[in-house]
Amino acid sequence: MTRKITLAAVATAALLVLTGCVAGEGSNVAPKPEPEATLPGSWSSDVLNIDFATYNPLSLIIKDQGWLEDTFGDKVTVNWIQSAGSSAANDALRAGSIDVGSTAGSAALLARSNGSPIQAIDIYSQPNWSAIVVGANSTIKSAKDLKGKNIAANAGTDPYFFLLQTLDEAGIGLDEVTITQLAHADGKTALEAGTVDAWAGLDPLMSASVVNAGSKIIYDNPDFNSYGFLNATEAFLTKSPDIAQVVVSAYEKARAWAAENPDEAAQILADVAGIDIAIAKSVLLDRTALDIDPKPGAKQEAVLTIIGPIFVESGAVASQDQIDDALESLFNTDYIDDANPDLIG
């Protein structure tokens, strides 16, 4: 009996060894699989690590249509990595594991203020993506009722700064509420389970919660949102301006494509986010403006100038000087000026 079990265990172990290691998500230590084209050809690098996110519809379109892959052919390997939120994207940019990442404008400013060398090369959307949401049976009716409540939010993202601005406007101090640190998706779960009183939500999760769980939006303010920033690391821009140019051109092609094919764009969002097509349409068509000036400039600066001091007050950034310096160097308009969507694909 015992011998049989031992044999079975050894056989299973042997099977696991024979099937070999799976590649996983890449490693700096383990040897990399040889790319099919080892010669960079006419490109400055043979790999592009770029993120996609449900809060960045243009990234989903580019990924879905395969424009980057078509443009680079087999000369440049395109690695798509999903970002769960701005803070996750910033984390990956800081670590150098992605070259290009999507964050809220507020999060980009925060990262740059704290020393992360990133620059905004394109504005992908003007979203109304954040709001304060409460459960279906909540007695909370307005922002003023948040006093003394437990609110879920993900620090370092737009909904978090939306919450700070909301509390500020309602005259509620940070010591008068409990802000529970949860990733966006976990915050939604916690709200629906009733373990927190309110949630600083992010679309499309938020719209899904409103439709599916009957959650209620109690405070909404488009001016508190800080645009969607496409950021690249300075190291990447220095080494591969040609590839960065292709990325920005692809974004502009996606912007035009989304305007012409709103239903297909909504379908792509619905598929990736795992949400109903009706919710995807309401997020994309009612709550997100893609048809905006993609060049980072005065409008974004105006919003960020308001948000900046909140960073200092909440302790996320040590001094206002760091914010001023970051704001001065955050925008890079070289690529959007030269964008040519016709060269893509």
Q: At what angle do helices 298-314 and 105-113 cross, to 10 degrees?
A: 60
Taking the least distance from each CB to another protein, the nearer of 119 and 288 is 119
| Least distance (Å) between residue 111 CB and another protein | 5
| Least distance (Å) between residue 236 CB and another protein | 15
| Least distance (Å) between residue 164 CB and another protein | 12
- Cis geometry, peptide bond prior to residue 204 (ω within 30 degrees of 0): yes
Taking the least distance from each CB to another protein, the nearer of 24 and 115 is 115
Q: Which element (helix H / strand E) includes 302?
A: helix 298-314
Q: In the chain, how long is the greatest CA-to-CA distance? A: 77
Residues that bind another protein (CB under 8 A): 87, 90-91, 94, 110-111, 114-117, 150, 152, 154-157, 178-182, 186, 189-190, 193-196, 315-318
Question: Could you tell me how far CA 166 lies from the centroid of its own chain?
Answer: 22
Taking the least distance from each CB to another protein, the nearer of 48 and 196 is 196
SS3 call for 205? helix
Taking the least distance from each CB to another protein, the nearer of 182 and 269 is 182
Question: Could you tell me how far CA 172 lies from the centroid of its own chain?
Answer: 28
| Least distance (Å) between residue 54 CB and another protein | 18
Q: Which residues pair with 123 in a beta bridge?
A: 229
Taking the least distance from each CB to another protein, the nearer of 45 and 189 is 189
| Least distance (Å) between residue 226 CB and another protein | 15
Read off the tokens for 279.
Answer: 């919710």
The pairing of strands 198-202 and 150-153 is parallel
Q: How many helices (H) and strands (E) does the chain have?
A: 15, 11
| Least distance (Å) between residue 154 CB and another protein | 7
Give the dihedral sign, CA 182/120/232/341: positive
Taking the least distance from each CB to another protein, the nearer of 151 and 280 is 151
Taking the least distance from each CB to another protein, the nearer of 152 and 330 is 152
**DSSP secondary structure letters along 101-120:** EEEEHHHHHHHHHTT--EEE
| Least distance (Å) between residue 330 CB and another protein | 14
